[in-house]
Structure 1
């Protein structure tokens, strides 16, 4: 069933010039189709919404987008396609996902899904306040506006069908665990903070459920201690992964998975896929050659140690072969990195949702 995905990934792995612009389309079960993809969360899912808000966390200038639609910087935090782009493609919806705040977004684009995510956002309200990102609560308000726009574009019944047959993706917690938890230490220990974040996730997906969404995907936290930026700031002199940050991510992921299972039993009409982002991510870092990567501890942009967002710009050089780098900047994956991750998780996602 995943032959087209696997073949495309293998082609990218063994062909150094390939930047993995496509991972193919997965074959969904009979009589199943996805009408739209709806993405909420942080920069891993931001398709350019931060272009339209007063935030310094933007990716709408070179060299971002170096390999996207002819080298166009769109606000995606990568050199090319992001996780939402690959996900919306393999689900057979469309080629890439647009940001909701794009003022020229088409009615057709609205009908097939958009991203509400914002670089720097998080589940903890403190996170968005400190980064000037779009809070998750405001992303929910944007989703309500989206539903009203859908109803104006198509009739109410058609709009409801689009929402019911959509897949909503929540990818957050990265900024919370690295940025906000240190600021919350006087209030929470690691366990209490992880429980707090998990409760916020459950509240968020319940709001989505109330608004008509029935299929939801929740990404776990990645191994944040292995992000190049975190290696530089919190790792040892050899820039090895920061164990404390990774242990926190693992604790949160364990609690989140357990609580999502309990939540789903209370809402049998819904399907919620917990996606383990941590282990596929760490597996690539520990076995880079298997996936065609030479560099997994530094980023492609600049010196490889500290450039992210505005520090990755047209004045900073990029690596000579982007297909050999897992990371594009200090916190975000290269296009090839994103494609490999989707190839690793897509089977679990489909099995959980359909």
Structure 2
């Protein structure tokens, strides 16, 4: 089972074909940029990367014909569409990984665990408020997972205890922000996917992945300190036996469980979805499935509500 099947969502389309009227019945759109994050400088070391702020601008520009360039001119049909859609946002992981690997690239150094988390959350809050201004009402926010148990831990310049403290602080602040925004923004709804808890449970138990026998190594060959699969590298024969695809991302069976576990508890998964998470390792928008949204970290996917 893929995450799309678990969440009952359709496949996304491509950015170049974006047409709000035509896509109302279903489907979605992906504004993904791999290695991006909450801070605009995140991922720049790998080349051109559009952060969450630029992804929102692209989404806004894609709707400008319907909006007539201002939220005040939005049509009732578009208002209805966006109010029923769900914006999925899974960000923050890249910020913590890169801040330990390349701290010199950051204007904000994570010298204080709380200060760094607070800075990230405050910027994320501004982005969410911007989306709200343009019609978004339902948000699905993903916590950061237990990076201390991911293969990427080996290249992070932090101990397991330090990573746990950093992630716990961010996830706690994420929940507080969601609670505050729910009170401050009329008719808004914020849902939190407890990624940290769910993935920890999956790593510690084989009940949901009975064939899993490797919780520490990536399925694919990762070389030279990179996080992704090496070109022409070796791959495992059966992803059901592995928890991790590469140094950072889960395998499809693990993603399917993450989606299923949340959807079993929340009715939000039956909604059509707009997703901000990094669903692609590519440098430009491309077709994707929500399963990919759960794999990586920072993307805008657009799934209009079904009529």
TM-score, normalised on structure 1? 0.64
Q: Would you say 1:344 and 2:275 are equivalent positions?
A: no
What is the alpha-carbon distance in structure 2 between the residues aligned to residue 208 and residue 151 of structure 1?
Answer: 13
Please name the residue that 1:279 is paired with: 197
For residue 229 of structure 1, the aligned residue among 152, 160, 163 is: 152
What is the alpha-carbon distance in structure 1 between the residues aligned to residue 66 and residue 242 of structure 2?
Answer: 40
Query: Structure 1's 253 and 187: CA in aligned 2 closer, same or farther, altered over 3 A?
Result: closer
Please name the residue that 1:327 is paired with: 244
Conserved 8 A contact 1:198-1:259: yes
How far is the alpha carbon of 1:177 from its aligned partner?
1.0
Conserved 8 A contact 1:288-1:295: no
Please name the residue that 1:124 is paired with: 39
Secondary structure at the residue paired with 1:139? Answer: helix
Worse-matched range after superposition: 189-198 or 109-118? 109-118
What is the alpha-carbon distance in structure 1 between the residues aligned to residue 222 and residue 110 of structure 2?
Answer: 37
Query: Structure 1's 353 and 257: CA in aligned 2 closer, same or farther, altered over 3 A?
Result: farther
How far is the alpha carbon of 1:339 from its aligned partner?
0.3
What is the alpha-carbon distance in structure 1 between the residues aligned to residue 230 and residue 221 of structure 2?
Answer: 7
Secondary structure at the residue paired with 2:135? Answer: coil
What is the alpha-carbon distance in structure 1 between the residues aligned to residue 109 and residue 141 of structure 2?
Answer: 28
Where structure 2 has 5 or more consecutive residues not aligned to the other structure, the ranges are 69-73, 272-307
What is the alpha-carbon distance in structure 2 between the residues aligned to residue 340 and residue 221 of structure 1?
Answer: 16
What is the alpha-carbon distance in structure 1 between the residues aligned to residue 147 and residue 248 of structure 2?
Answer: 9
Conserved 8 A contact 1:304-1:330: no
For residue 217 of structure 2, the aligned residue among 277, 288, 298 is: 298
Count matched residues: 258
What is the alpha-carbon distance in structure 2 between the residues aligned to residue 294 and residue 305 of structure 1?
Answer: 25
Query: Structure 1's 194 and 353: CA in aligned 2 closer, same or farther, altered over 3 A?
Result: farther
Secondary structure at the residue paired with 2:41? Answer: helix
Matches within 5 A, 1:1-354: 20=1, 22=2, 86-87=3-4, 89-94=5-10, 96-100=11-15, 103=16, 108-109=22-23, 112-131=27-46, 132-148=48-64, 156-180=75-99, 182-183=103-104, 184=106, 186=109, 188-230=111-153, 232-234=154-156, 242-288=160-206, 290-292=208-210, 293-302=212-221, 308-309=227-228, 311-313=229-231, 315-350=232-267
Where structure 1 has 5 or more consecutive residues not aligned to the other structure, the ranges are 1-19, 23-85
What is the alpha-carbon distance in structure 2 between the residues aligned to residue 189 and residue 219 of structure 1?
Answer: 23
Query: Structure 1's 217 and 303: CA in aligned 2 closer, same or farther, altered over 3 A?
Result: closer
How far is the alpha carbon of 1:305 from its aligned partner?
9.8
Secondary structure at the residue paired with 2:167? Answer: helix
What is the alpha-carbon distance in structure 2 between the residues aligned to residue 105 and residue 245 of structure 1?
Answer: 39
Deviations 1:160-207 (A, max 9, x none): 322121110111100111112544575741110001111112111111
What is the alpha-carbon distance in structure 1 between the residues aligned to residue 190 and residue 207 of structure 2?
Answer: 33
TM-score, normalised on structure 2? 0.73
What is the alpha-carbon distance in structure 2 between the residues aligned to residue 307 and residue 187 of structure 1?
Answer: 22
